[in-house]
Chains A and B, each alone.
Chain A
Amino acid sequence: MRSRAWLVAALALVAAVAVLSLAVGTRAVPLPAVIDALFHGGDTRDALVVRTLRLPRTEVGLTAGAALGLAGAVLQAVTRNPLADPGILGLSQGAAAGVVFAIAFGLASGFSGYVWFAFAGAVVAACLVYAISLRGRGGASPVKLALAGTALSAMAAGATTVVLTSSSATLDQFRFWQVGSLSGRDTGTVVRMLPFLVVGAVLVLVCAPGLDALELGDDTARALGHRVQLVRGCAALGATLLTAAAVAAAGPIAFVGLAVPHLARRLVPSGHRRVLPLSALLGAALLPVADVAGRVVRAPAEVPAGVMTALVGVPVLVFLVRRKVAGA
């Protein structure tokens, strides 16, 4: 019962955050005007701001946040690593590098093109990080995964820079996208994201019982009748899809996937059938909040949402490292 109450509360929070994201900004729009604009349209300046500017970025924030929260929870379970996050494991920079190559070489324009390259980049990064951290004595320890991810991120960022220095047009397109900003997205972005999100979400939710078993260790999971490699592979593929879609839409946004699952695990009893949906909802609430905060902090200038999540997320990382990895 308690976990259902938390789910309802999280849903209410998401709704509240959505309204906040529509109403708050350089131009504050009163609540009745927001509702009026949503349901009746109209040509007033308030209505235009809400419908054409804030509605799309709110939608992107909600969906990308949900995807990252879900992906983080899954990655933490798959790698048994409390520090796992699409950003820390290098998936986000890998996806970003894929997108930059697509832009620079004219291989793709627009979201539907980007997302495939983002996906390819994220998959390559995921495979490399996992393969590398498996090597050596001690296997894929949390620290090795995190450091391998960091190193791969640096490499992807280097490759990205090489491409960007050769083309200032690409840089101009890219620099806003890179920091993880939600501004300047249109409603179509979310529609094109949806198929990837749905497939990814279904994949990871199907794996939920297997993820529970994985937490007990590979041998126990096998004894319980789970096909460990299949579960791990499916869940990782789902998380990669979710990350790629989120990165293609909003740029590499760090730490949402790190912080949210930890919060979710504290609120509901263990079990991924409860933790995963709550992580998705909390992620959906967190990213728009970061976006709104970024609009307000230095108005009229905007702070990209990705910068805000990094500034909030790093203390979480420090806290986790101090508590959990000691002696790892």
Chain B
Amino acid sequence: MIKWNRIVAFLAVVGITFALIGTTAKGVIGGITLGLDLQGGFETLYEVKPIEEGQELTKNTMKDTVGAILKRIDILGVAEPEIAIEGSDRIRVKLAGVTNQEEARKLLGEPARLAFLGPNGEELMTGNDLAKDGASVQYDELHRPFISLKLANAQKFEDITREYLHQRISIALDEQILTSPEVQSVISGGNASITGEYTVEEATQLANILNAGALPVEMTEIYSNSVGAKLGAESLDKAIFAGIIGVGAIFLFMFLFYRWAGIIAIVTLVAYMYTILVVLNWMHATLTLPGIAAFILTVGMAVDANIITYERIKEELRAGKSLTSAVRAGQRRSLSTILDANITTMIAGAVLFYFGTSSIQGFAVTLMVGIVMTMLTAVLGTRLLLSIWVRSNALRKPWFYGVKESEINEL
């Protein structure tokens, strides 16, 4: 006697699941941030050293440095920069989707140490003597841009110009002399200017660098990774294509091997893939290339839970049990195996996360989220759907679950 209300309930659960996925998938996928290896961009790990000998790196210096880097990134207009202090003397900067990488990298690492040098190269003033936001672009009579500087300490500057009257003072940025004007008069009021053959863009950028502040420290790149936008897009396309093929093969395999139960597994796998994306979106996780690889891989692993359960059910059916009790026994007995198997993989994932660098951490996060979600969808979801179905009394022949009549032992 087929119970239609159970079939309706089954179809309703499946229907609601797919409707939910269909209507929200676009937003969920669109909301996931792609890593710099997929959209182009770069990542640099800087080692920070104090500029002056004997000076110590404090937490505050590190924070100030991060602040200065952030200001510089603002100049670039990057939407979602990721900056993190690692350990006591490292700063990791990740910029995804930067169009002009070379310029950006140059701008970031530049210590921008501004110095006023005397005729013999002696340092008279540094960038710290500059007033806050004291650099601006102005134009001379011929509409050539120059940089106007406002100094924090007008008296100091006046004293210097008095001392070096009629001599040349150089203004240098990172040992590169920008200009060496002669001091023609004692300058009071604290204003100076840097002139040179600048384009408007160059002048603006220079002024911005000066305002962003001389970095209080020296930064050396000890690790860097940059990916061109074209290569990133290519990686993304290929990974998605590989994913479609791999997941398609898994679906086909499940259908051929477990028939109707396989179809139920496919439904829960689709739900699984969707929930992974929802969770990644919700965590604001960045999807990297290894992350996609992990995602595809976890689909293969999520199937495990189904296979372990289904093989158990097949065994029970072969032993001659009825479908209802075979399903019940199969589900009960497979749970501890699934748990053990997944917890060990979880241990590996946690270690990867703890020791990995950023892109591998992306892999580890996806792997761990995947394992947790497996328990929700492939275990609970499959249980729910199978139980509802079994009670509907439809498709009860062992054939529908991949068992031949000839294999069944008589009780």
Do the two chains belong together in a single complex? no
A positions within 8 Å CB-CB of B = none
B contact set with A: CB distance below 8 Å: none
